Amino acid sequence: LVLETHLQAGIQKDEFFVQYQPLMDLATNRLYGVEALVRWRHPELGIIPPNSFIPIAEESGLIIPLGRKIFEMAFADFAAWKTNFASARDLCLSINLSVKQMLQSNLAADIQAMARDAGLSLENINLEITESLFIDDMERAVKTIRELKTLGICISIDDFGTGYSSLKYLNQFSIDLVKIDKILIDNINGNLTNYNIVASMLELCAKLNLKAMAEGIEDIDQLEKLQGMNCPFGQGYYFAPPRDRNIIEEMLAGNM
């Protein structure tokens, strides 16, 4: 309850900010997009990672106003990058959404309004959702995804392979991108079973015409294995950790 009170105050005092982690095109080794990841700069406790407050924000419902702030910040940055950097023209922006946010009836209209306020078109905007969404309220989830897709927004399944992982959802909900969880990527070199699971997932995605991204790539051996399997996209500390906005701007200015 104490943290919840701090969280509420923190939202009002704008203590939250967004970092961005590069998403890479593995075929060309070029920047494909960035994933927005929220952080809390607490006046006494310092930087608090999302794992420590997102669950509380979800339980308390504060994820709704916080989520709106995250969109506003990321949309403002993204709009500025599109204006200022030719290299950002086709860049994709990925934003994580909690189940609670996805189940708001006005989500699509809300996002549309925030994009309009930021002077941003909804092309190249990608929302990351988790499979648990489909257990919670299937009907609402389907309706929301349809509305978002009508606006031109892309949908990713985050942490794929760890949870419910029903393959039929991928097609049924016209998912655009599957993010294969770090846990499966971790052991891709040491463990033949893991390797085969990832290889099969990539094959399946290709057959279903889904983009696939490997999460948590930390070394060149993993990268080369994934490239050998024709994994189209990747993310991980090997390329870059989540970075402050100004570092991303340096990259866009031509140093990467």
Q: Does residue 215 belong to the site contacting ligand G (CB under 6 A)?
A: yes
Q: Does residue 128 belong to the site contacting Na ion (CB under 5 A)?
A: no
Residue nearest to Na ion (CB): 159
Q: What is the greatest pairwise CA distance in the chain?
A: 51
Question: Which CB atom, from 10 or from 216, has the smaller least distance to ligand G?
Answer: 216
Q: Does residue 77 belong to the site contacting Mn ion (CB under 5 A)?
A: no
Q: Does residue 48 belong to the site contacting ligand G (CB under 6 A)?
A: no
Question: Which CB atom, from 38 or from 91, has the smaller least distance to ligand G?
Answer: 38
Question: Which CB atom, from 97 or from 155, has the smaller least distance to ligand G?
Answer: 97
Q: Does residue 49 belong to the site contacting ligand G (CB under 6 A)?
A: yes
| Least distance (Å) between residue 185 CB and Mn ion | 14
CA 97 – CA 47 distance, rounded (Å): 21
Contact 201, 160 (CB under 8 A): yes
Question: Which CB atom, from 21 or from 124, has the smaller least distance to ligand G?
Answer: 21
- Write the CB contacts of 14 (distance below 8 Å, at least 6 apart in sequence): 69
| # residues near ligand G by CB under 6 A | 22
Partner whose footprint covers residue 161, from ligand G, Na ion, Mn ion, none (CB < 5 to 8 Å by kind):
none
Q: Does residue 38 belong to the site contacting ligand G (CB under 6 A)?
A: yes
Question: Which CB atom, from 131 or from 215, has the smaller least distance to Na ion?
Answer: 215
The count of residues in the chain is: 256
Q: Does residue 159 belong to the site contacting Na ion (CB under 5 A)?
A: yes
Q: Binding string, 187-216, against Na ion, x = CB under 5 A? A: ----------------------------x-
Binder to ligand G among 159, 178, 202, 225 (CB under 6 A)?
159
Q: Does residue 61 belong to the site contacting ligand G (CB under 6 A)?
A: no
Interface residue list for Na ion (CB under 5 A): 158-159, 215
